[in-house]
Amino acid sequence: EPEVTQTPSHQVTQMGQEVILRCVPISNHLYFYWYRQILGQKVEFLVSFYNNEISEKSEIFDDQFSVERPDGSNFTLKIRSTKLEDSAMYFCASTNGNTGELFFGEGSRLTVL
Amino acid sequence: GEDVEQSLFLSVREGDSSVINCTYTDSSSTYLYWYKQEPGAGLQLLTYIFSNMDMKQDQRLTVLLNKKDKHLSLRIADTQTGDSAIYFCAERTNNNAGNMLTFGGGTRLMVKP
C-alpha cells in the first residue's frame, strides 16, 4: 500500500537553528499538507500546497516557516530560526483531491532545546 | 471558524462495542474522517464518509453521520485490546482553497481485557 514517508523521525536542535523536515508524498497525489501536534494538544493545520504554491496557511505559519517542493517527489518544511514552542510532532499529508482519502506520514518529532 | 469536539476518554471491555462521538460546526463539510493514533505513532486513516451519506460500514467499523445535528460517530464492533489508541475525528471543508482538515481533540479509547 502506498504511504507518505517522513524524515527524520526525531530531530533535536538548539533554539535559533534552522530545521528542514522532509516528506515524500504518495506519488500520484497533488495536494500536500503540513500539520503539527504539540504534545497533548490538537492536531493543527499549518499549510497546504498545490500546483507548486501555497494554497492556504494558518496563523501559525508565520515568516519563520516555508515549504518547498524542490523536485518531483520531496515536500519540505523549513523552520528558519527555531523557538522552544516549535517543539512538536510535525505531520505531512497528501491526497489526490479526487477521493476523500487523505493520508498522513508517521511524523517527525522536533525537540527544540 | 470551524470547531470539532470529542469526549476525552472511553473505556470498554474486550468484546464489547465502542462508540466514539464527535460534533462539528461547519455545515459546508465535504468529508468527515476518523484517524487512529497509537502511542508515539502517526495518524492512521481508519475510514471516512462523504457528507451526503449517512452511514458507512467497513468490517468492524460503522460510521454514522447526522448532518442535521452535525454529529458523527464511530462504532467499533467486538473491540479488541489492539484497538486501544486515541481516535481523532476531523472534518474537511470545501470553503477554502486548501481543503484543510480541522481535528477534534481526540478520544482516548481504553480496552480492558
* Per-residue b or e along A67-91, where b marks 16 or more CB atoms closer than 10 Å to that residue's CB: bebeeeeebebebeebeeebbbbbb
A34 in B contact zone (CB under 8 Å): no
pLDDT tens digits, B17-70 = 999 999 998 878 888 999 999 988 889 999 999 988 999 999 999 999 999 999
State how far residue A9 is from chain B, nearest Cα, in angstroms: 10
Polymer length in residues for chain A: 113
Question: Is A104's CB within 8 Å of B98's CB?
Answer: no
pLDDT of residue A70: 86
At A16, list the grid cell.
Answer: 535559533
Q: Which residue of A has its CA nearest to B38?
A: A106
Nearest 5°: CA angle at A92, between A86 and A95?
Answer: 150
pLDDT of residue B95 exceeding 60: no
Q: Which amino acid is at B39?
A: P
Do the beta carbons of residue A46 and residue A35 sit within 8 Å? yes
Q: What is the helix (H) or strand (E) element at residue B97, kind and residue range?
A: none
A8 in B contact zone (CB under 8 Å): no
At A36, list the grid cell.
Answer: 503539527
> What is the DSSP pairing of strand A10-13 with strand A108-112?
parallel
Residues of chain A with pLDDT under 70: none
Question: Is A42's CB within 8 Å of B106's CB?
Answer: yes
Q: Which residue of A has its CA nearest to B44?
A: A104
